[in-house]
Amino acid sequence: MKRKYWLYLLVVLVTTTFIAACNSNEGKDTATSSATKDLYTCSMHPQVLQDHPGNCPICGMKLIKKNATPVALNNINLETLLKPTNEFVVASLPVTTPQENSVYIPVKVYGTIEADTRAMGNISARVSGRIEKLYLRYRFQKVTAGQKVVEIYSPELLTAQENLLFLSKSDAQNTAFIQAAKQKLLLLGMSSTELNKVIATGKPLYSVSVYSKYSGHVHDAGMIPNTSSMNENEMNNAAPVTQELALKEGMYVNKGQTMFMIMNHHKAWAALQIFPNQQSIIKKGDRVQIIPETDTTAVINGTVDFVEPFFRGSSKTITARVYFHNMDMLTIGSQVTANIFTEAKNGLWLPQTAVLSLGRNEVAFLKSDGGFLAHKVTTGIRSEGKVQILSGLSAKDTVATNAQYLIDSESFIQIASK
């Protein structure tokens, strides 16, 4: 009986020892597996956990190992740690240095197509008289050079013709007086064809034709329409393009009065609006590529021909003109997009993320022992993700690549500068 008892006890002890050994090996395997598997988290958002390195999906910061040993910051005393964040920030972040480069600044602007006022011509009355025949009836009517536009009866012209005929009949040998009479008629607006007709027939012309010296469209009659006979509804419903000209047959005109203004729409300019932060880099002669909104395939290449030295109305943008031949007859007043290619700008350049704007001031975080020092800088041009540093930094300085990570909105009130 004793032998069976001891045999039973021995079996129980062996089984228990075997099970304990198995559990111990499994625990070791699990611990070993857990130890070899690293977890990565974000220092700003500890709820983010990944089994591989990368960037935080929330703030974009580089992930760190969850069980990594903290980076040791040497020479950091208690006084440094107690400094306000507007003076010193203890942190370990990626850094960069200002780069001395020549950067080409492409500027994208918007504008409109306007008529070139240099291509404008006025048709004026050289004598006082009455309009007998009018050949232009409505605004924006097409006109070509040499086209007859109006016939005028003028007592002055009639008298000058009769003087010429009298001299030709009574004193044909006095060529000087006859030539002077002919010249007077030409200066009063009579054409050489009409003058020869008067001499050949011996009879004066009661109406003299006025011809256009310009090609284009009737842009404005140069007179204020008489709207006293039109009621308010008729004036509001009349489109400017379809409105008749103020000049009518039977009206009297005065010497020197502008009857028509002809605008050549084949000559135009693009008025490009330049914002204040771009005005310092846009110069006359810069190459421009213009894309009209009405026809994106009609790319216009030109240069900045003139920069207007004033603001239009209440606008805070200045206007740069690009003259071009409007052979495709793009609509006056239509919108355009333009790319201005400026000259290369030399200077120190930083990523825009490295500079923080605080209203009137701008700061970069200068690398110092164990942390970053808030440092005031003066910036210039901003383009393509870069900012020009005018003062406050040198090419030997090191600053934080992203200044946003070092800002404390509640305590960052003042700027510490050297």
Mean pLDDT in consecutive groups of 10 residues from the start of the chain, 418 residues: 62 62 51 58 82 85 72 52 52 74 80 87 88 87 89 90 87 85 88 87 88 84 41 43 75 88 86 84 87 83 89 86 84 87 80 82 78 80 79 83 63 44
Residue 200 — φ and ψ, nearest 5°? -70, -40
* Of the candidates 221, 191, 209, the residue with the CA atom closest to the CA atom of residue 154: 209
Q: Note the pTM of the prediction, 2 decimals.
A: 0.55
Q: Are 288 and 346 in contact (CB under 8 A)?
A: no
Q: Are 116 and 269 in contact (CB under 8 A)?
A: yes
If we measure between CA atoms, which residue out of 392, 391, 352 comes closest to residue 374? 392
Name the phi and psi angles at 209, rounded to 5: -85, 145
Q: With contact defined as beta carbons under 8 Å apart, do 187 and 113 qualify?
A: no
Phi, psi of 95 (to 5 degrees): -125, 165
Per-residue pLDDT, 295: 79
For 172, the token pair is: 């044909």
Q: What is the pLDDT of residue 391?
A: 84
The average confidence (pLDDT) of the chain is: 77
Instruction: Note whether 186 and 195 are within 8 A (CB).
Output: yes
Which pLDDT belongs to residue 224? Answer: 39
Residue given tokens 């310092």 in the structure block: 280
b/e per residue 259-288 (b: at least 16 CB within 10 A): bbbbbbbebbbbbbbbeeebeebbeeebeb
Residue 311, SS3 per DSSP: coil
Please check whether residue 211 is in contact with residue 191, taking contact to mean a CB–CB distance below 8 angstroms: yes
Going edge to edge, which strands form the sheet with 40-41? Answer: 49-50, 40-41, 64-65
- Determine the pLDDT at residue 272: 92
Helix axes 192-201 and 155-170, enclosed angle (nearest 10)? 50
DSSP secondary-structure letter at 230?
Answer: S
> Cα(315)–Cα(311) distance, rounded to whole angstroms?
6
**Is the Cα dihedral 215, 220, 223, 225 positive or negative?**
positive
Amino acid at 92: S
Considering only CA atoms, which of 119, 115, 106 is closest in space to residue 271? 115
pLDDT value of residue 370: 65
**Exposed, middle or buried by CB within 10 Å (0-12, 13-18, 19+), for 35?**
exposed
What count of other Cβ atoms lies within 10 Å of the Cβ of residue 102?
A: 10
Give the pLDDT of residue 245. Answer: 80
Buried b (16+ CB within 10 A) or exposed e, 342-363: beebeebbbbbebbbeeeeebb
CB-CB neighbours of 322 under 10 Å: 25
